[in-house]
Structures are given as C-alpha cells and as structure tokens.
C-alpha cells in the first residue's frame, strides 16, 4: 500500500485560490494539484503550483523569482526552483531578467515540460496576463501549512502590493 502524501489545498479544501488587489488591479489565480506534464512524477518531490497573473491596471509590474516566498508554519522557507524562462515585448529583446527583491532561489533541472510550462519572468504590461507553473521544494514532508507571499513591484523596484495565499497540507492516498 502506498503511504499517504500531502497536497497543498486552501482552507476550504479546494485547490484554487484567487486574489485581486483593488488598487493596482493585479489579479492572481493559484491552483495546486494541476500538473499533467512530463515528467508525470514531478509533483512527488516538488511543490507545483499553477499561476495566472493578470495586470488589469495602468502600470507595468515585474514577474521575478525573488519576489515569491513560500514559508511554512515553522518559519522554514521552501526555495523556489527557477526554470529560467523569460518573456519580453517583441520590440525589446531581453535575454536576462530581474531576479526581484531576493536571490534566495535555486535552479531546477529543466527537462520534459518543466521549462516550457513554467511561469516566465519579465515585465507584465498593463492589460496583459501570463500563466505557467511555479516550482518549490516540497512542503508536506515536515509541515502542516505554508504561506505563499508574492511581493509585486514595478520594474524600478517600487513595491506595489504583497499578496498572501495560505495553504494547508491535506493527506491524500497516492
């Protein structure tokens, strides 16, 4: 028999959380348990969270790996695993990206669908959205809950809003 393993869920047990900041008009939808790519077993040792970020405001916002924290209830940080994907406007070739407020993240071996499915980093212009997966070191091995905080900022590092998402570990047979 397989032992139960934890899965991140919202307080109500659902896999989807949505937040909208009324001032900046940034909208975020996070979904857990949604990985269907290659390798199929990625979510056994990695926390995989699908993100959709929409910038409905009038100013650009930065998407950067150093702007996202996942910290469990014991205060331990679970590193973001960066697949290194970027995006840029067609008329602005961009090979590098701003890592954000911190560099406390690692690279992930980008094989299979990991890189092509990852949320890419760059500047999200007004009226646009971006989607993709975020990868973290797993939470459920030692923790019962974790908070993801996304520190949104302008490209010039001016803070915009901190969005917080609380997750709980639910045991599922797997």
How confident is the model over 162-168, as a mean pLDDT?
Answer: 97
- Condensed to tens digits (0 to 9), the pLDDT of residues 8-29 reads 999 999 999 999 999 999 999 9
- Condensed to tens digits (0 to 9), the pLDDT of residues 17-62 reads 999 999 999 999 999 999 999 999 998 889 999 999 999 999 999 9
- pLDDT value at residue 86: 75
Asked if 162 contacts 24 with a C-beta cutoff of 8 angstroms, the reply is: no
Q: How many domains does the chain have?
A: 1
Q: Which residues form the domain of 158?
A: 5-172
- pLDDT value at residue 39: 95
Asked if 150 contacts 68 with a C-beta cutoff of 8 angstroms, the reply is: yes
- pLDDT value at residue 6: 78
Angle made by CA atoms 29, 173, 171, in degrees to the nearest 5? 55
CATH number of the domain bearing residue 61: 2.60.40.1230
Percent of the chain with pLDDT over 90: 71
């Amino acid at each position: 028999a397989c032992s139960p393993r934890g899965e991140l869920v919202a307080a109500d047990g659902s896999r989807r959380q949505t937040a909208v900041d009324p001032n900046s008009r940034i909208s975020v939808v996070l979904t857990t348990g949604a990985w269907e790519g290659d390798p199929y077993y990625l979510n056994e040792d990695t926390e995989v969270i699908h993100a959709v970020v929409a910038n409905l405001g009038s100013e650009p916002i930065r998407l950067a790996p150093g702007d996202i924290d996942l910290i469990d209830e014991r205060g331990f940080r679970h590193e973001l695993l960066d697949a290194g994907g970027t995006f840029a406007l067609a008329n602005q070739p961009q090979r590098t990206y701003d890592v954000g407020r911190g560099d406390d993240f690692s690279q992930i071996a980008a094989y299979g669908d990991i890189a092509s499915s990852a949320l890419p980093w760059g500047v999200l212009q007004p009226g646009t959205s971006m989607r993709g997966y975020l990868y973290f070191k797993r939470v459920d091995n030692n923790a019962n809950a974790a908070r993801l905080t996304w520190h949104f900022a302008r490209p010039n590092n001016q803070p915009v809003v901190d969005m917080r998402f609380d997750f709980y570990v639910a045991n599922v047979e797997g």
